[in-house]
Amino acid sequence: MTEIFDADLVSIQEARRLANAAKEAQKKWAGASQEEVDRVCAAMAEAGAAAAEKLARLAVEETGFGVVEHKVLKNLLTSRDLWTAIRDVKTVGIIGRDESRGLVRIANPMGVVVALIPSTNPTSTAFFKTMIAVKARDAIVVAPHPSAVRCTFEATRVMAEAAVKAGAPEGLIACMEHVSLQGTDALMRHKATSLILATGGTPMVRAAHSVGKPAYGVGPGNVPCYIDRSADLPQAARLLVASKAFDHSVICATEQAAVVDKPIAGRFAELVQAEGAYFVSESEANALRRYLFKPDGAINPTAVGKSPQVLAKAAGFSVPDSARILIARLSKVGPEEPLSREKLTTVLGWYEVDGWREGCNRSLELIHFGGEGHSIALHARDEAVITAFGLEKPVHRIVVNTMSSLGAVGVTTGIAPSMTLGPGGVGGAITGDNISVQHLFTVKNIVYGLRDAPAPAMTDGTDFEHLHAPRTTVSAEEIEQIAQRVLAELQNRHVQ
């Protein structure tokens, strides 16, 4: 095997080659019919579902993050279930008419999409982005995270081979094998690139927004979960623990802190313990603080996506085999309390508050400390409380009475299935939507004239009579009439 001395140059060359090939393939794919597009996407969905378990195992093996069974579910969500959700979306030709307004809407593909893939959800995100790109008649080049190259490449290969076999052009779906920061940067900046889909850590998303190309990015999700006194407590406990434990908490919409109404806090603590939550002691919490976070506040990458048992051992204590999540009782939010940060692992903060208004304020503190624009979860049956949280919180997903990890991405709710959750302007992104196929094509409009133009628009600009300009002179006769009226009024006042 020949040793590669200049890995960065190899990566840059690969990026250029794949981008150019994708551009040529997209030119061909832009002429596909809706029937052809849907046939290819259906084949991709079938292939992705068939490979779901194999790829889930590969992802856990390569990254060390998460749970195989849970990654299987995510792979199915982003292949079979995603296709069910977007199958009927029109992406070719005329997609809508409004006769009353004289409008005809025509779908127009973006071109070449560059997809940045995270290490936390590599195979499911690769499935998701390739599927929506092909449905929109775009080409896509995938840039894996350096710690998830093998599984991301394999997931992309599964989709690419299925697409070509079903009639898509070669090069429409591609993935980098030689990954470097320089290569990814070259791919994003390439003249063939039309759009960037950036899912991952904050530095990577910022880099995507800085290259001068249109980009859809995500943001951190320091998601609070408020438990109101009106909640169905057994259900809330079951769903909260299951959600935090799901795939060892690597989905950015997973709950990061429970904010619990005091009157029901004792009972709720008992219920979550029965579901597998382990409340750490203060000394154990301190050990977690030291292990989970670096001095600059960044999370220790070896702690991401790990079980409670692995975390406890690494931090220097032990927990029962039955523990599904760890809970630390907290009283502060901010840099002085590291455990109030986003924790993409099985550790949950716990705050107690007196009523929903105090819960609102505590939740806002958590959102402002690293989760602006993303999501909030709550368990309540009082609609006034639910509405207040929806109106007041600077987030784009208010997930009610379900698992936030799965509800925000569309598994247990009616929101669009997505692995790219926009945090909106407040979170530094262009949209707060769950990114889907509609975001990957533009719409051209045929617009028919409905009414005559205003008269001034039909002149050459010199016909001032048509403009009804205000008069600037008054005749002598008019001045005399005004004077007589003023004198008469003065005389009447004198008589009175």
CATH number, residue 404: 3.40.309.10
Mean pLDDT of the chain: 93
Q: Are 143 and 22 in a shared domain?
A: yes
pLDDT at 263 over 60: yes
The number of domains in the chain is 2
* 430 found inside a domain: no
* 144 found inside a domain: yes
CATH number of the domain that residue 112 is part of = 3.40.605.10
* 455 found inside a domain: no
| Cα–Cα distance list, 107 to 23, 95, 182, 430, 436 (Å) | 18, 6, 34, 21, 15
Query: Can you give the pLDDT at residue 485?
Result: 76
Q: Are 39 and 134 in a shared domain?
A: yes
Q: Are 170 and 264 in a shared domain?
A: no
* 431 found inside a domain: no
What domain range includes position 146? 8-217+436-445
Torsion angles phi and psi, residue 170, rounded to 5: -60, 140
- pLDDT of 294-327, one tens digit each? 998 899 999 999 999 999 999 999 999 999 999 9
Cα angle vertex 35, ends 31, 37, to 5°?
Answer: 60
Query: Can you give the pLDDT at residue 63?
Result: 97
- pLDDT of 160-178, one tens digit each? 999 999 999 999 999 999 9
- pLDDT of 375-425, one tens digit each? 999 999 999 999 999 999 999 999 999 999 999 999 999 999 999 999 999
Q: Are 213 and 241 in a shared domain?
A: no
Share of the chain above pLDDT 70, in %: 93
Q: Are 69 and 145 in a shared domain?
A: yes
Q: Are 152 and 286 in a shared domain?
A: no
Query: Can you give the pLDDT at residue 2?
Result: 53
Longest dimension (CA), the chain: 117
| N- to C-terminal Cα separation, the chain | 115
pLDDT at 469 over 70: no
- pLDDT of 222-253, one tens digit each? 999 999 999 999 999 999 999 999 999 999 99
pLDDT at 462 over 80: no
Amino acid letter at 381? R
Instruction: Give the distance, in angstroms, between the CA of residue 417 and the centroid of all CA atoms in the same chain.
Output: 10
Q: Are 182 and 277 in a shared domain?
A: no
* 468 found inside a domain: no
pLDDT at 368 over 80: yes
Q: Tally the C-alpha atoms within 13 A of residue 450's C-alpha that lie toward its C-beta.
A: 8
List the catalytic residue out of 41, 175, 252, 360.
252
* 3 found inside a domain: no
* 459 found inside a domain: no
Q: Are 209 and 353 in a shared domain?
A: no
Least confident of 4-8, 72-76, 112-116, 172-176: 4-8
Instruction: Give the distance, in angstroms, between the CA of residue 154 and the centroid of all CA atoms in the same chain.
Output: 24
The pLDDT confidence band at residue 260, using thresholds 50, 70 and 90, is very high
Q: Are 61 and 113 in a shared domain?
A: yes
* 467 found inside a domain: no
Q: Are 197 and 295 in a shared domain?
A: no
Is 252 known to be catalytic? yes
Cα angle vertex 367, ends 362, 368, to 5°?
Answer: 100
For 136-152, what is the mean pLDDT? Answer: 98
